[in-house]
Amino acid sequence: MKSQVQPKLIIHGGAGSSLHGKGGLEAVRRSLHAIVEEVYTLLLSGVDASVAVVRGCQLLEDDPRFNAGTGSVLQSDGQIRMSASLMDSASGHFSGVINVSRVKNPINLAHFLQSSPDRVLSDYGAAELARELQLPIYNGLTDLRLQEWIQERQDNFKHTMAGVVADTEMLETSNAGRGTIGVVVLDTYGKLAVGTSTGGKGFERIGRVSDSAMPAGNYATSYAAVSCTGIGEDIIDECLAAKIVVRVTDGMSLQEAMKKSFAEAHDHKRDFGAIALDATGAIAWGKTSQVILAAFHDGDKIGDTLELPEGTEVGCIV
């Protein structure tokens, strides 16, 4: 039997340009830290990496502050369409759902599909799966997201995406961020898993597909695991999560892989962030955006990335 290791955990609630003052920052910090604490307690009890990831994603999806599950943004036609995926290093399986509606936790569908011969389902297939599983119909619309959409409709959708965090202070500047949630875990058995979930950009063309249900935005091997957030098209163009993981798998340290990948992204003028763990327990994050809303447990304490010095693009705790 493999000896136990110190579990590690990092989560994110999106990336963007600003938290618009201390009130927003402290509210996001409380939300993220509470979720880290709950999931880390699960890890200490010995749960499997995928189980911990799913629980973390559920908690983030259920928090209306973040753009996933409850509190998801609306597409241009006023409908919520969500995407989510899960990857487990032990099985090597990637699974996900694309543009699913009327379910509370899209990550649950991705989790079920881990053991399915058809592991990625789009809108109609995902809806049929939800019916098969007898999941209750759920409306994740919040008043703030509805107000945001109404305001944008009145302005003829001049913004190309919605706000990363749902907050009354942010309705005046709804282009302030890119919203996705993600969880990366190293469990006590040394297994890695990663999950990512999103409501999309907001105001996008009907049928647009997010990176969150692709290996570009969510990927893991037994060497490393990465969840991305930001402008999905930029993440897809860089194939960011898979690129970082492959570099670690091929022998780079996690810190080196993050630095190289984000240097390339900076040169290409990309707008995104990523969180990562490797099999040694190294924790890393990177961003080309102003902020990445991430929090982590390094085995001793909880920390976060909400107030990084300006210009910091990559951080790593080894």
- For 75, the 3-state DSSP assignment is coil
Which among 233, 242, 258 has a CA at the least distance from the CA of 317?
Answer: 258
Which among 5, 32, 23 has a CA at the least distance from the CA of 285?
Answer: 32
Residue type, 247: R
CA atoms 96, 75, 273, 232: torsion sign: positive
Residue 246: C-alpha distances to residues 132, 174, 183, 240, 267 (Å): 36, 35, 19, 10, 20
Q: Name the catalytic one among 70, 180, 196, 229.
A: 180
Query: Catalytic site residue 312?
Result: no
Which among 148, 133, 206 has a CA at the least distance from the CA of 179?
Answer: 148
Residues with a known catalytic role: 180
